[in-house]
A = this chain, B = another copy of it.
Amino acid sequence: MSFAPRPTPPYYAVIFTSQRTGVDEGYGAMAERMVTLAQQQPGYLGAESARGEDGLGITVSYWQSLEAIAAWRRETEHAAARDEGRARWYSHYELRVAKVERAYGWDAAQDAPGDPQPR
């Protein structure tokens, strides 16, 4: 996984910060499956994910609307994965739903002096 696309705001971000337990059983397969499933959801715009060696990870998924997020929350396999997550894979998590108001990016290959400007 790498950078998500950069659609024109407004759109929504779901910020999921989690601490993993030491239990790996089935975790990788579930995580991959959730990416595949999310990509098939209406209103899915992309996601970015990172986890450090200490087991703390952040996944941010991007969505067109709150309705799209609510539908993803109701998705049956996703709900089952959340239950499994609480039973096995995570010791703690925080979830935040946020409306993206401004976004910009920068790439070394297209560098220009000074800070990039929001669009």
List A residues at the B interface (Cβ < 8 Å): 1-4, 6, 9, 12-13, 15, 17, 19, 21, 48-53, 56-58, 60, 73, 79, 82, 86, 90-108, 111, 115, 118
A101 to chain B, nearest CB (A): 6
Distance between Cα atoms of A92 and B109 in the complex (Å): 9
Identify which of A19, A106, A115 gathers the most chain B CB atoms within 10 Å of its CB.
Answer: A106
Distance between Cα atoms of A96 and B10 in the complex (Å): 11
Query: How many copies are assembled?
Result: 2
Distance between Cα atoms of A100 and B96 in the complex (Å): 6
A95 to chain B, nearest CB (A): 6
Residues of B with C-beta under 8 A to A51: 50, 52
Contact (Cβ within 8 A) A94 B3: yes
